[in-house]
Structure 1
Amino acid sequence: MTKASWSKALFALMLVLLLALAACNGGDSEESGSSDSEGGSKEGGSEEKAEEDDGLYSIEDFTTEKTSEGEAIEGGKLNFGLVTDTAFEGTLNWNFYSGTYDAEIISWFDESLLSWDENFLYTNDGAATYEVDEDGKVFTFTIRDNVNWHDGEPVTAEDWAFAFEVIGDPEYPGVRYGEDFTNIEGMEAYHNGEADSISGVEVVDEKTLKVTYIESTPSLLTGGIWAYALPKHIFKDIPVADMIEAPEVRENPIGFGPFKVESIVPGESVTMVKNDDYWAGEPKLDGVTVKVINPSTVVQALKTGEVDTVDSFPVDQYPDNADMSNVEYLGQTDMAYTYIGFKLGTWDADAKEVAPDDSKKMADVNLRKAMWHAVDNNAVGEQFYNGLRWNATTLIPPSHPEFHDAENPGVEYDPEKAKQILDEAGYEDVDGDGMRENPEGEELVINFASMSGGDTAEPLANYYIQSWEAVGLNVQLLDGRLQEFNTFYDRVGQNGDDDPAVDIFQGAWGVGNDVSPAGLYGRDALFNFSRYASEKNDELLAEGLSEKSFDVEHRKKVYNEWQEFMVEEVPVFPTLYRALLVPVNNRVQNYSIAFDGVPDKHEITVTAEEAPTAE
């Protein structure tokens, strides 16, 4: 591809994304689930909407930007809540973390070297800038001169290259290694021990790094570049296999973000102070405390001012608290969805890829599709979440409206169809107990792993179990109980260890900036917890990252085909798309939940030392 054609492809991609976003924001909300509407905050219409629609709310009633009124004081501290019923893991480094709560904490003290815009395209507004060659394969990054680690050492190209080396090391204990890295020249040779260095990662000078990719793909523009440095002067003497448990990750993490870690209460809270030397400007707050808040007490914590805001408010609690007087609710369509997954294999740690197993209990696609037909996710969204979660149809959510196939209906709720499919596939009630046996006439008990957390977790799991029971399937909660967050993901295989007791599971995915599903459903993706793989899936995922897919219409066609293929194969099925609701105390200014990567946490201010309480 010539420089001219690559530039045209980039421009075309940006233009289509901009037009798609504009179209969605223009009112096509029913199809797109647009998150950045003009509907205003809770005061702007959610009460009226609820009255008109029998208690149902719409994501269009919210904005992503906090209203700023009053005069900010100098300094002040913010209290930020992580809404969870479990401890955070405490793997506080971008190169090693795997849990969403750890990521929330890290984002306050460390950040990506590259920023991105509202369309998820990289910009040159972050801590580093970039240029790309005429073929779209060689990226040259320049770190700004005033970007320094919290200990005063400069963030260098060596630090960035070191992150690539650690993740590519065969002893690397984290979950990041995948196609974003194998697409770098020389990475697989390095990873396999055939080379002492990565030929495609070159330190040009102290602040300049050059990375050469094997293939130019559209994902390189929207998240396919690893943009997180690792301070080599701190980690260089730690064996790679030991880094994830090292004090430098668990007890004394370091970054170059707007705040510095001062103290940690493991699993409970992290206290930070401002980084006076922050590259984008001195933070206006004196500090931030991030703490775990149980879903059952989050309302009280907000009302009393114990926390100013939270990562995500349980939407099932919104109707009873929509008029909380000391907060403003922000909201948008989340870059996430919940899903039911089926265990179809295991993880091959040696080959570093999934190993499908046709002997698995859930291997029959008819069984999987019948289980999708058996559940009414429209009713779940309305009855459990008052419309703030809604029926999901495909595995690319409406947070990426340019690639979400809004015309694909997924699989409709039809329990009679579910029964018919099971009958025809040989799942019959042989012994007359009301529960179906497998086609060999053997007892069929399906073990279901589902997470604890919030008031709806147990009734929701029970709803699915009862729906499956209504079509004759004996589904039981794994160990007879809900699993806490960390245990759940350990058992479904986030460390490569799949618990054979798990047959199906209810999980949730944050999909990230890059629309490519390969990181969740590719053959070499550790996060592919269903352990599904097929040649057709390989082909479609590869085509979505091909040179042809710089043509956005081609890429949309490929991903529409992939979405339809996954509806047919059902290695997992999506259940709900989600509204992200974030209440923010009235004293807080310059707060946004918009999905862009322009640094802004240093701009947050407060108008009073103490958070006002609810009336």
Structure 2
Amino acid sequence: MKRLLLGSAALLVLPFAALANCPAITVADMGGVAPGAFPEQYDLAEFQAAASCTIELSENPGIAGFNAQIRGNPDLPAVADRLPEDPLVVVPYASAGSYGGTLDALSNGTEAGTSDFMSLRHVNLVRYSDDLETIVPNVAKSWAWNDDYTQLTFTLRKGHKWSDGQPFTSADVKFWYDNLALDPNVNEKPKDYVTVGGERMTVDTPDDVTVVFNLPAPKPGLLAHFATHFAQGFQPKHFLGQFHPDINPDADTLAKSLGFENGYAVIRAYYGNSDWMDTGTPMLNAPDLVGKLPADAAPTLESHIVVRETTEGRHFVANPYFYMIDTTGQQLPYINEMDELYANDQEVRLLKLVNGEVDYKAQSLQLSDAPLMLENQEKGDYTIQLKPRIAMQAVSFNVTHTDEAKRAVFGDVKFRKAMSEAIDRDGLNSTAYFGQGTLQQYTGFSPLPEFIDQKWKSYAMEYNPEGTKAVLDELGLKDTDGDGFRELPNGEPLVINMQFATQGIAGQVVELISQNWADVGIKSTVKEVTPDEYRSAQSSNQLDVGLWEKGQPMGIILGNNELWVPPFENYFAHRSGMLWAEWVDSNGTSGVEPPDYVKALMADINTLQSTPAGTDEFKAIANRMVAAMVENVLFIGTALTPDPIYVSNKLVNVPEFKTASYEYYRAYPYRPSQWYIKD
């Protein structure tokens, strides 16, 4: 009998008794092995030296069958030929796992509440460790900055392969940047994280494993972007590039031969037309053309790849070429398959959760759901973790409303401040948050750094209904017909339509705010909608108020300016000032010109991203930004609260989360590739 032994430089086939395999160390019991340079993981040579052993590779016994389900994949080579020369060695939390099982997930729907499930298989160049402070290697083997943070160099893993067995190289990073992220046919407007102060970077690839990002100005936060964002800094050039006209002159001809309008149409069928990675595949977008295409889904570096997809859900199998191994040499992931069911109704989701039909869930669960889930933990054989959030549930008035009369009112900072003071946050906390919330105004940075004046946390937070009534009277919002509710200054009825989705805010919170506003004479209607409906209305500037969670930590903001530039976040989150954003994007040719303080915020965030952190200049800029954001009450805060995380008791190696938050990309820091399902 022979086993494959992986040394630091080459693969050797040695007799079974020649060397003992490496110890099955865990985070819980390191067995005397010294930690590596980064928490809970090692480079191969680093681990073998620390443990005085040679890794013996092994694979999932069912992996050939999973490979056969990935249409277009060739026959499977040996595991040593599928892994990089230097695979990432992962230390399991509690125990080395066993292969098998299907993880059952529950999402809202395609492109509407799937990020939680996506985070289970997600990879990027780097990630945050579970301490949420330390950035560690992931797809990239290492990185290095130059002295002034204008050049970031990544070193990739030699021999790394896509899920179809083709080489993953630096060319795939450059292809993502040059041909997708900056191509207006794919991304209408470049995202902030691929620019520095609005200027593009350049990407050099001196060899297959070296990627150099050249920045026009310092931007240390670029690394944190790659550690937290859903948009991966690479795409398969060998696959998508054949349909891109800048890569293949015959791309359109090839696309037309497959039944598509042009090459970009094929790219959109596989990749979407934005940076969101969890779009439908051709199996959903062009099912009648799937058989003509080279594969059902684009190759991935993630732990699992989709093999079946309908409007009801998706099914994934383990990636045969996944680049991670555990300390005993088992190729990860341990979990064979993942099944994702779409359920947009919150009551349906909760029923499935309490019945134990789901293995993991965090997204769309609110604190108001916790009592029911806690009560049924034993029955459903699951555990609820209640963990603090980074973002808070917030409210915003549509300051660029299409209705000119509403725009005039909503655009008045006196009105916005008064409506913040009309909210009884103590009552909100005791009723909707069970007394678990920490009342706080929205400040832009969450948590608010200590060097920023802490007074902003309580700005316009005092419950003052009588003061609100006086301000509304001053603004000409009076009850002229005696029905108990105020009219607009022009005499027309003022009714605020409060559409919300439970993915972004709890219904009880919306109801209580609506009642508080009624108490000062502002009439509103409350309606629950799906996340897709909410986002569609938000995108088309049809909302009266935004109702969603909001907030990011400083480290992430230094890589992505979206909270400070109209519309003040991305498509999936809490936005306002859509016509301001149109003015910015069109260089003033359309939309509505934003006020000076908004222009100052835009300039300040770009300056902050290029200013050395901790300096007096950095602190002054950040303080100025918070003051402008809070004094103008663009977003009205409520409270920082805990939220539930649902974990089936049959899942092993799932640690205690630090936070129930999207901002570090949900489960990504907690290494789901080493989770496994016990028999």
- TM-score in terms of structure 1 length: 0.72
Distance across 2 between alignment mates of 1:405 and 1:223 = 26
Aligned equivalent of 1:380: 428
Distance across 2 between alignment mates of 1:224 and 1:72 = 28
**One-letter amino acid of the counterpart of residue 602, structure 1:** S
Aligned equivalent of 1:315: 367
Aligned equivalent of 2:577: 530
> Does structure 1 residue 507 correspond to structure 2 residue 558?
no
Aligned equivalent of 1:263: 308
Aligned equivalent of 1:344: 399
Does the 8 Å CA contact 1:373/1:418 hold for their aligned counterparts?
A: yes
SS in 2 for 1:427: coil
In structure 2, the CA distance between the partners of 1:119 and 1:498, relative to structure 1 (3 Å rule), is same
Does the 8 Å CA contact 1:81/1:291 hold for their aligned counterparts?
A: yes
How far residue 178 of structure 1 moved from its aligned partner, in angstroms, is 2.9
Q: Of the candidates 242, 265, 274, which is equivalent to residue 318 of structure 2?
A: 274
> Does structure 1 residue 442 correspond to structure 2 residue 491?
yes
In structure 2, the CA distance between the partners of 1:69 and 1:213, relative to structure 1 (3 Å rule), is closer
Q: Of the candidates 580, 588, 592, which is equivalent to residue 643 of structure 2?
A: 580
In structure 2, the CA distance between the partners of 1:108 and 1:552, relative to structure 1 (3 Å rule), is farther
How far residue 556 of structure 1 moved from its aligned partner, in angstroms, is 4.8
Aligned equivalent of 1:103: 115
Aligned equivalent of 1:4: none
**One-letter amino acid of the counterpart of residue 308, structure 1:** D
Distance across 1 between alignment mates of 2:118 and 2:503 = 24
Distance across 2 between alignment mates of 1:455 and 1:523 = 19
Distance across 2 between alignment mates of 1:429 and 1:398 = 39
Does the 8 Å CA contact 2:203/2:212 hold for their aligned counterparts?
A: yes
**One-letter amino acid of the counterpart of residue 318, structure 1:** A
How far residue 327 of structure 1 moved from its aligned partner, in angstroms, is 2.0
Distance across 2 between alignment mates of 1:186 and 1:146 = 33
> Does structure 1 residue 603 correspond to structure 2 residue 674?
yes
Structure 1 gap ranges (5+): 1-66, 90-98, 188-197, 348-355, 609-615
> Does structure 1 residue 366 correspond to structure 2 residue 414?
yes
Distance across 1 between alignment mates of 2:212 and 2:576 = 34
In structure 2, the CA distance between the partners of 1:510 and 1:340, relative to structure 1 (3 Å rule), is same
Structure (1 or 2) with the larger CA radius of gyration: 2
How far residue 214 of structure 1 moved from its aligned partner, in angstroms, is 1.4
CA displacement 1:178-218 (0-9 Å, x = unmatched): 3322318963xxxxxxxxxx7x2222222221111112134
Task: Judge which range, 424-433 or 336-345, deviates more.
Answer: 424-433
SS in 2 for 1:139: strand
SS in 2 for 1:316: helix
CA displacement 1:60-81 (0-9 Å, x = unmatched): xxxxxxx988996542222222
Aligned equivalent of 1:81: 106
Aligned equivalent of 2:500: 451
In structure 2, the CA distance between the partners of 1:215 and 1:203, relative to structure 1 (3 Å rule), is same
Does the 8 Å CA contact 1:469/1:475 hold for their aligned counterparts?
A: yes
**One-letter amino acid of the counterpart of residue 280, structure 2:** R
Aligned equivalent of 1:21: none
Does the 8 Å CA contact 2:170/2:210 hold for their aligned counterparts?
A: yes
Aligned equivalent of 2:531: 485
SS in 2 for 1:573: coil
How far residue 476 of structure 1 moved from its aligned partner, in angstroms, is 3.4
Aligned equivalent of 2:169: 156
How far residue 131 of structure 1 moved from its aligned partner, in angstroms, is 1.2
Aligned equivalent of 1:465: 514
* Greater RCO, 1 or 2 (C-alpha within 8 Å, sep 6+): 1
In structure 2, the CA distance between the partners of 1:287 and 1:112, relative to structure 1 (3 Å rule), is same
In structure 2, the CA distance between the partners of 1:306 and 1:418, relative to structure 1 (3 Å rule), is same
> Does structure 1 residue 416 correspond to structure 2 residue 416?
no
In structure 2, the CA distance between the partners of 1:471 and 1:241, relative to structure 1 (3 Å rule), is farther
- TM-score in terms of structure 2 length: 0.66
**One-letter amino acid of the counterpart of residue 590, structure 1:** N
Q: Of the candidates 623, 629, 652, which is equivalent to residue 566 of structure 1?
A: 629
Does the 8 Å CA contact 1:172/1:240 hold for their aligned counterparts?
A: no
Q: Of the candidates 134, 143, 167, which is equivalent to residue 181 of structure 2?
A: 167
Does the 8 Å CA contact 1:374/1:467 hold for their aligned counterparts?
A: yes
Aligned equivalent of 2:610: 546
SS in 2 for 1:223: helix
**One-letter amino acid of the counterpart of residue 324, structure 2:** A
Does the 8 Å CA contact 1:109/1:257 hold for their aligned counterparts?
A: yes
CA displacement 1:251-298 (0-9 Å, x = unmatched): 2244211112121232x3222111232111221121222323443144
Task: Judge which range, 583-592 or 101-110, deviates more.
Answer: 101-110
> Aligned residue pairs: how many?
498
**One-letter amino acid of the counterpart of residue 382, structure 2:** V
Distance across 2 between alignment mates of 1:119 and 1:327 = 25
In structure 2, the CA distance between the partners of 1:430 and 1:361, relative to structure 1 (3 Å rule), is same
Does the 8 Å CA contact 1:127/1:279 hold for their aligned counterparts?
A: no
Does the 8 Å CA contact 1:446/1:503 hold for their aligned counterparts?
A: no
> Does structure 1 residue 233 correspond to structure 2 residue 238?
yes
In structure 2, the CA distance between the partners of 1:390 and 1:254, relative to structure 1 (3 Å rule), is farther
> Does structure 1 residue 246 correspond to structure 2 residue 287?
no
Superposition RMSD on alpha carbons, in Å?
Answer: 3.5
Does the 8 Å CA contact 2:388/2:641 hold for their aligned counterparts?
A: yes
Identity %: 19
SS in 2 for 1:286: strand
Q: Of the candidates 407, 425, 430, which is equivalent to residue 480 of structure 2?
A: 430
In structure 2, the CA distance between the partners of 1:586 and 1:264, relative to structure 1 (3 Å rule), is same
Distance across 1 between alignment mates of 2:114 and 2:557 = 23
CA displacement 1:124-177 (0-9 Å, x = unmatched): 3543421111221011112112432211112221211122121211223467x2
> Does structure 1 residue 204 correspond to structure 2 residue 206?
yes
In structure 2, the CA distance between the partners of 1:404 and 1:590, relative to structure 1 (3 Å rule), is farther
Distance across 2 between alignment mates of 1:557 and 1:253 = 46
**One-letter amino acid of the counterpart of residue 496, structure 2:** N
How far residue 304 of structure 1 moved from its aligned partner, in angstroms, is 3.5
Aligned equivalent of 1:304: 355
How far residue 543 of structure 1 moved from its aligned partner, in angstroms, is 3.9
**One-letter amino acid of the counterpart of residue 170, structure 1:** P
